[in-house]
Amino acid sequence: MLCAIDHGILVEVRHMRHELDETERRIAAVLLASPRASWRTVARVLGISERTVVRRATPLLHDGTLRPTAVRNPARFPQLIPMALRIRCRPSRIKAIAAGLARRADTVWVDILGGGDEISSVLFLDGPQARTSLLLRDLPATAAVQSWDAYDLMRVFPAGFAWSAGLLPTDQFDALAPFAREPVDAPEVQPLDDALIDRLTENARAGVSDLATRLGSSASTVRRRLDLLLSAHMVRLACEVDLRLLGIGSEALLWIATGPGSLEATGHELSRHPQVRFAAATTGAANLLVAVAANDLGGLYTFLTKTVGSLNDIRSLEVTPILSSVKRTGLLRPSET
């Protein structure tokens, strides 16, 4: 059943990169933190020439090594229900079930966890009926799914939205992080806004003139609506890359239980850590979900013992290593076969 539902967005990758040099990693870090940064801005932040940036970055965008995209911020779209799923299934069918989930248009992340019999997924469901259909129809009808836990994401902490894999110094990162600023009031969503977000999902670096042509609107109107969507935090811009190219070899999901009075402060503090890609307050026994990326298992251990270990009121912690990723930020990951 899961395999038969709407497809997500697939970006064809014509060449699989196996390594990036130091300059390419630094460029990638800037685009992770600010996907629409101009080449002039990238050059200024990194202290290299704009010509060098263009020469080194353009092939990375062309071959799909760097994939700028966008997702709606569910906090600004009341009809969206953000949910995390933990699905346990037969190991022999786990890849097929993960692929079926990834092909759904409403899945944002799909990961196979380290035990080889569990999938984690984040979905932005289009209303209560979509949630009911998923939990009471789609999952029960999927062979090899043994059980699942569903967690509503009550609050996604925005500091984790601007992320540079810890490769940028603090001053450079702070100058680029758009979610560090307080949002303006959310505008009433217009049909043009939905179409614009769809185009940004395909390419978050698309120029205003190109967007205007594709949307049949004027460049000034598109620029105004785009600026408003971004300043109101209606949409999150992102740039996907194989994290191994940035020296990251260990990813994990942390399921943390903390006291209700410390949940907000703990979530905010963890979301600002350079190794944290995502942090959200959830329903369920574990009330905080955190996605962590470290160079290796030693780095993950240090994060757990030094960063998490220093926090007050941590009542329980479960660590689930990520074995492989199938979908990130709404994009299917390229096959390596």
Residue 178's closest CA among 135, 230, 127, 128?
230
What distance in Å separates the CA atoms of residue 233 and residue 75, rounded to the nearest whole number?
Answer: 9
For residue 167, give both structure tokens: 């490769």
Residue 16 has pLDDT above 70, yes or no: no
CA angle 223, 56, 336 (to 5 degrees): 95
What is the value of pTM for the model shown?
0.89
Q: What span, in angstroms and rounded, lies between the C-alpha atoms of 128 and 134?
A: 10
Q: Using the predicted structure, report yes or no on whether residue 183 has a pLDDT greater than 60.
A: yes
pLDDT of residue 229: 94
Of 240, 290, 301, nearest in space to 267 by CA: 290
Per residue in 55-100, pLDDT (tens digit) is: 999 999 999 999 999 999 999 999 999 999 999 999 999 999 999 9
Q: Which residues of 116-140 are buried (b: 16+ CB within 10 A; e: fewer)?
A: ebbbbbbbbbeeeebbeebeeebbe
Residue with tokens 């202290």: 47
